[in-house]
Amino acid sequence: MIGKIRIFFAAVFFMAGFMSYGGENERQQTVGDGIKIGLSMDSLRVERWRKDRDIFMKRAKVLGAEVIVQHADGDARRQNEQAENMITQGVDVLVVIPKDGVAAAQIVEIAHKEGVKVLAYDRLIMKSDVDLYISFDNEQVGYLQAEYIARKIPKGNYFLLGGAPTDNNAHLLRKGQMRALQPLIDRGEIRVVAKQWAIDWDARDALKKTEQVLTRHDNRIDAVVASNDGTAGGVIQALDAQKLAGKVPVSGQDAEKAACQRILAGTQAMTVYKPIHLIAITAAEAAVALAKGDAIPQATQTVNNDKTEVPAILLTPIQVDKDNLDVVIDDGFHKREDIYKKK
């Protein structure tokens, strides 16, 4: 009898240890058993999102949860329909990467009617009672982009190319960029000659808008603050056509494979690396906790979404240029041979 009790307590401590320290897979299988997560994505067009999806799903599976994924191919209305459909399918929690931060408020409303909690992943859902927001510090991403470019080109004509205006991140980035540039603008050293937004974060739109800006200013653009690597690619293509690629520094974000190659080639000055495994794993764990009605102790801050203060977890982005590019390799984000190989 005593022996049996001892084994029982040993087993309890064993399990508790695994639960609190996030130990091995098999033991955790029980944690989220029966939990169904809906992952609603804007689109998979930008390289990072497949990583987000794959790492998120893997972690959720390890936690014993089932995940249904849908992406709306850049269509906000379709995303709302897909999310609604997942609620009908009985998900316990929805994780949403909104195409349109304002339109997605409807998803939160419908979900809450059915008692389904909503986690805004990477991009905030505006004007809603969304339950949790997990992202990187996007204002800091913008600051790191412009701060880097301003160190290279402390005087001259700047073109600021923002991301999709429907994405709250694009506005946070611009805010951070302006924080870095404003003192130099005030001193008359930097002139922002054009400010644009790339519709849907589309590289072709970035290309077109850069061509227009170059034409309008007789190619007298000294630096471009581009908000992600995809759009930086469009900017650099336009610069290249004017033999300006490599002469005009361009920023980016995401540490995409092509961007890392351009950094080595000297046509893109920098990128901002965001360790995707951190956001994906944190979000999968938080989704399971939300589904179970548990508190999220890591949400130590709040972010205002024009309706309420949303509990938030904001992770730290990293400024990367050719001197510390190995960060992305050491972190397992890219293979060395993929970045250093000739195109």
- Give the nearest distance from C-beta 58 to ligand BGC in angstroms: 20
Would you count residue 201 as binding ligand BGC (CB under 6 A)? yes
Nearer to ligand BGC, 244 or 273 (CB): 273
Helix (H, G, I), strand (E, B) or coil at 197: strand
Residues 245-264 that bind ligand BGC (CB under 6 A): 253-254
Out of 169, 268, 282, 305, point to the residue binding ligand BGC (CB under 6 A): 169
Out of 31, 39, 41, 46, point to the residue binding ligand BGC (CB under 6 A): 46
Indicate the length of the chain as a whole number: 343
Nearer to ligand BGC, 184 or 328 (CB): 328
Euclidean distance between CA atoms 289 and 129, whole angstroms: 18
Would you count residue 166 as binding ligand BGC (CB under 6 A)? no
Contact 189, 153 (CB under 8 A): no
State how beta strands 318-320 and 271-273 pair.
antiparallel
Measure Cα distances from 106 to 92, 132, 214 in Å: 17, 16, 40
Out of 71, 123, 171, 334, point to the residue binding ligand BGC (CB under 6 A): 123
Which run of H or E residues covers position 309? Answer: strand 309-315
Out of 167, 202, 205, 222, point to the residue binding ligand BGC (CB under 6 A): 167
Going through the chain in order, the beta strands assigned E by DSSP cover 36-41, 66-71, 93-97, 117-121, 132-136, 156-162, 190-197, 223-226, 271-273, 301-304, 309-315, 318-320
Euclidean distance between CA atoms 228 and 123, whole angstroms: 14
Residue 51 structure tokens: 């990583």
Nearer to ligand BGC, 122 or 131 (CB): 122
Candidates 115, 117, 71; CA nearest to 97 is 71
Nearer to ligand BGC, 36 or 334 (CB): 334
Residues 48-67 that bind ligand BGC (CB under 6 A): 48
Euclidean distance between CA atoms 192 and 40, whole angstroms: 37
Would you count residue 92 as binding ligand BGC (CB under 6 A)? no
Nearer to ligand BGC, 222 or 229 (CB): 229
Would you count residue 139 as binding ligand BGC (CB under 6 A)? no
Would you count residue 228 as binding ligand BGC (CB under 6 A)? yes
Nearer to ligand BGC, 140 or 157 (CB): 140
- Kindly list the residues in this chain that would bind ligand BGC in the complex (CB under 6 A): 46, 48, 122-123, 163, 167, 169, 201, 228, 253-254
